């Protein structure tokens, strides 16, 4: 049973990290390489706020404050990236990709110089654990799981039931068609970058409470997220969720049965097989 819990915890991590990347890709048709660094900023936001508010606020409240602050601040950074890089280089997805790759190193070094290269960890804002049916369930992990579900639910409601969300989906499906309906591409791009970056930051706060926070945490998570969104079908949010669970199951099982060292290789082989036989991914639309 512990395995099931572990699968859910790992998949939560994959989902929360990959979904923002998939959203930005689906709408902007290019990759924001700095997504990993935005995620890292979320982790550091939690660390800074926990250190600043120790004894002033209960850690649980700080955790929620960190979620809101990080989402807002990093979301605005996403808007700045949109204005300074994405908008200037529109129609040149390759240049955007390379520019954000350069940006990701700039941000990484900035954090290394400002805070230091060493990994940090925070005490769990919601300490303790529950024993249930022979499973050990740390409360913090359950909280992370709960917030991820809430985050995904919020994203679902936004995309499915608001006008702005519908416009975002329309743009992802057919850019020209959306433009002909009078949807402002600039507006949609700003919205998407704000939401996508905020999702990265939220994921960073959530994961920062259970993992080690370091300047390199984004880069380490990014290649797995690439595998997930490729297997899920680039731009497909439901595909990303399905693939995140698929890899959550595979990686957990491999680690549990002592084959953890083969996990990166197996993940890559699955990706290569999917590319060979289903080039548009599990749930991706054929382009």
Binder to another protein among 68, 101, 160, 212 (CB under 8 A)?
101
99 binds another protein (CB under 8 A): yes
Give the C-alpha separation, 194 to 168, whole Å: 12
**Bridge partner list, 120:** 213
Within residues 6-65, the interface with another protein by CB under 8 A covers: 25, 29-31
Query: Taking contact as CB under 8 A, which single stretch among the options 11-19, 89-97, 166-174, 206-214 is the one that binds another protein?
Result: 89-97
Q: Check if the beta carbon of residue 40 is closer than 8 Å to that of residue 20.
A: no
Query: Taking contact as CB under 8 A, which single stretch among the options 71-79, 173-181, 224-232, 249-257 is the one that binds another protein?
Result: 224-232
Question: 165 is written with which tokens?
Answer: 């969300």
Site string for another protein, 231-260 (x = CB under 8 A): ---x-------------------------x
Binder to another protein among 1, 68, 106, 212 (CB under 8 A)?
106
Give the C-alpha separation, 220 to 72, whole Å: 24
Q: Check if the beta carbon of residue 39 is closer than 8 Å to that of residue 243.
A: no
Binder to another protein among 1, 61, 149, 268 (CB under 8 A)?
268
Q: Check if the beta carbon of residue 251 is closer than 8 Å to that of residue 235.
A: no
Within residues 118-177, the interface with another protein by CB under 8 A covers: none
- Kindly report the three-state secondary structure assignment for every residue of 189-253: HHHHHHHHHHHHHHHHHHHHCCCCECCCHHHHHHHHHHHHHHHHCCCCHHHHHHHHHHHHHHHHH
Query: Taking contact as CB under 8 A, which single stretch among the options 167-175, 193-201, 243-251, 267-275 is the one that binds another protein?
Result: 267-275
Which one-letter DSSP state was computed for residue 57? Answer: B
Residues of this chain that bind another protein (CB under 8 A): 25, 29-31, 85, 88-89, 93-95, 97-99, 101-106, 108-110, 112-113, 117, 219, 223-224, 226-227, 229-230, 234, 260-265, 267-268, 271-273, 275-276, 279
């Amino acid at each position: 049973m512990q395995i099931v819990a572990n699968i859910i915890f790992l998949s939560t991590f994959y989902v929360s990290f990959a979904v923002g990347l998939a959203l930005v890709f689906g709408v902007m048709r290019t990759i924001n390489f700095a997504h990993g660094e935005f995620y890292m900023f979320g982790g550091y936001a939690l660390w800074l706020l926990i250190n600043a508010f120790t004894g002033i606020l209960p850690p649980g409240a700080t955790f929620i404050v960190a979620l809101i602050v990080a989402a807002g601040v990093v979301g605005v950074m996403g808007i700045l990236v949109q204005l300074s890089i994405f908008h200037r280089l529109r129609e040149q997805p390759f240049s955007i990709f390379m520019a954000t790759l350069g940006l990701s190193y700039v941000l990484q070094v900035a954090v290394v110089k400002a805070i230091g290269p060493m990994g940090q960890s925070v005490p769990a804002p919601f300490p303790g654990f529950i024993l249930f049916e022979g499973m050990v369930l740390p409360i913090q992990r359950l909280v992370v799981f709960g917030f991820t579900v809430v985050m995904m639910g919020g994203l679902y409601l936004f995309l499915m039931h608001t006008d702005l969300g519908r416009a975002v989906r329309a743009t992802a499906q057919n850019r020209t068609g959306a433009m002909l309906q009078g949807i402002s591409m600039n507006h949609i791009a700003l919205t998407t970058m704000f939401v996508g970056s905020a999702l990265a930051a939220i994921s960073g706060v959530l994961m920062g409470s259970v993992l080690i926070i370091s300047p390199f945490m984004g880069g380490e998570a990014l290649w797995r997220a690439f595998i997930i969104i490729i297997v899920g079908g680039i731009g497909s949010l439901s595909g990303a969720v399905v693939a995140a669970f698929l890899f959550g199951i595979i990686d957990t099982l491999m680690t549990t049965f002592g084959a953890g060292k083969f996990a990166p290789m197996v993940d890559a082989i699955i990706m290569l097989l999917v590319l060979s036989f289903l080039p548009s991914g599990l749930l991706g639309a054929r382009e």
